[in-house]
């Protein structure tokens, strides 16, 4: 996951810095809770120090923004937010850059851990993919709409019927369901292939219908 190569001024802002989630958010992501209340600022400093050490970069505080970021975190981490608002808030700290290096990775890792815990009921592959989507959004390499669409798709129950269009979690293969086997596994035919594959239902996502032209 890429991260900024150098310190950025505290004037760098994101349109959703600390902003609320808004109209159009999927209902399943709108439950509110103090999702970060148990993570204090010292734990974030330690996380950044560890990441910098692993990346052979200097760990240090941004003299322009660290104090204000620490104050905001201390005052607001117990605030109730939706899951999406929480990711927006974490992303805002990436842009405010309280540390010299690895700001993106630091707050992305917090979002990854949070998502993994919140979606503990997901099958392992889907949980890992949801956590990756959240982390990449916070790090700035995935836009908000794509992140929401991805998490929503992963949250859908794996309920397939013959004829359904499906894709793998990563989207590397797309195809059509041919049969549901007695053990619940899915036999499907990837586009351009002549050989059917067998997969666990949780490893596939249903593609949205594009309608007839």
Domain boundaries in the chain?
Answer: 27-155, 165-206
The pLDDT score that the predictor gives to residue 6 is 38
Q: Which residues contact 199 (CB under 8 A, 6 or more apart)?
A: 168, 185, 186, 188
pTM to 2 decimal places? 0.71
The pLDDT score that the predictor gives to residue 213 is 40
Reported in sequence order, the residue ranges of 6-96 that DSSP labels E, i.e. its strands, are none
State whether residue 178 is helix, strand or coil. Answer: strand
Q: Which residues contact 30 (CB under 8 A, 6 or more apart)?
A: 21, 82, 84
pLDDT at position 19 over 60: no
Portion of the chain with pLDDT greater than 70, in percent: 83
pLDDT at position 13 over 60: no
Q: How confident is the model at residue 182 (pLDDT cuts 50, 70, 90)?
A: confident
Computed over every residue of the chain, the mean pLDDT equals 84
The pLDDT score that the predictor gives to residue 126 is 84
pLDDT at position 22 over 70: no
Q: Which residue is listed with tokens 């990711």?
A: 87
Which option is the CATH number for 27-155: 1.20.120, 3.30.110, 1.10.150, 2.60.40? 1.20.120
């Amino acid at each position: 996951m890429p991260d900024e190569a150098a310190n950025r001024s505290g004037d760098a802002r994101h349109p959703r810095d600390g902003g609320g989630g808004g109209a159009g958010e999927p209902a399943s992501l709108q439950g509110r809770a103090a999702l970060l209340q148990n993570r204090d600022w010292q734990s974030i400093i330690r996380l950044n120090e560890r990441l910098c050490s692993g990346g052979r970069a200097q760990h240090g505080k941004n003299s322009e923004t660290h104090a204000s970021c620490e104050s905001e975190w201390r005052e607001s981490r117990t605030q109730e937010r939706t899951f999406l608002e929480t990711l927006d808030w974490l992303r805002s700290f990436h842009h405010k850059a309280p540390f010299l290096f690895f700001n993106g990775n630091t707050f992305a890792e917090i979002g990854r851990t949070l998502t993994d815990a919140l979606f503990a009921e997901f099958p392992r592959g889907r949980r890992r993919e949801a956590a990756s989507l959240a982390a990449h959004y916070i790090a700035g390499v995935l836009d908000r709409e794509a992140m929401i669409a991805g998490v929503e798709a992963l949250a859908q129950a794996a309920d397939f019927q013959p004829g359904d269009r499906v894709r793998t979690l990563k989207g590397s293969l797309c195809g059509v369901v041919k049969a549901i086997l007695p053990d619940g596994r899915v036999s499907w035919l990837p586009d351009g292939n002549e050989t059917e594959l067998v997969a666990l239902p949780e490893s596939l996502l249903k593609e949205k219908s594009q309608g007839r032209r």
